[in-house]
Chain A
Amino acid sequence: DGGITQSPKYLFRKEGQNVTLSCEQNLNHDAMYWYRQDPGQGLRLIYYSQIVNDFQKGDIAEGYSVSREKKESFPLTVTSAQKNPTAFYLCASSINRLDAYNEQFFGPGTRLTVL
Chain B
Amino acid sequence: GQQLNQSPQSMFIQEGEDVSMNCTSSSIFNTWLWYKQDPGEGPVLLIALYKAGELTSNGRLTAQFGITRKDSFLNISASIPSDVGIYFCAGFYNNNDMRFGAGTRLTVKP
Question: Smallest CB-CB separation from A48: which chain B residue?
Answer: B96
Contacts of B41 in A (CB 8 A): 108-109
- Return B64 CB to nearest CB of chain A, in Å: 17
19 A-B residue pairs with Cβ-Cβ distance under 8 Å, sorted by A, are: A6-B42, A40-B105, A41-B102, A42-B6, A42-B103, A43-B100, A50-B96, A99-B95, A100-B95, A101-B31, A101-B95, A104-B90, A104-B98, A105-B45, A106-B35, A106-B42, A106-B43, A107-B42, A109-B40
How many residues in A have their beta carbons less than 8 Å from beta carbons of B? Answer: 26
**Could you tell me if A90 and B43 are in contact, using CB atoms closer than 8 angstroms?**
yes
A70 within 8 A of B: no
CA distance A31 to B43 in the complex (A): 17
A97 at interface, CB cutoff 8 A = yes
Binary contact track A42-70/B, C-beta < 8 Å → 1, others 0? 11000000100000000000000000000
Query: Which residues from B are CB-within-8-Å of A29?
Result: none
CB contacts (< 8 Å) of A40 on chain B: these are 105
Chain B, range 81-110, C-beta contacts under 8 Å to A: 88, 90, 92, 95-96, 98, 100-103, 105
Q: Report how far A41 CA is from B50 CA in the complex, Å.
A: 26
Consensus secondary structure, chain A interface: loop
- A103 lies within 8 A of B103 (CB): no
Bound Cα distance A109, B72 (Å): 27
Within A21-45, the residues touching B (CB, 8 Å) are: 31, 40-43
B-side contacts of A42, CB under 8 Å? 6, 88, 100-103
Minimum Cβ distance to chain A for residue B58 (Å)? 14
- Would you give the 0/1 interface string for A72-88, flagging 1 where the beta carbon is closer than 8 Å to chain B? 00000000000000001
Task: Check: A7 CB closer than 8 A to any chain B CB.
Answer: no
A20, B69: Cα distance in complex, Å:
39
- B78 proximal to A (CB < 8 A): no
Residue of B nearest to A41 (CB): B102
B55 CB, min distance to chain A CBs, angstroms: 18
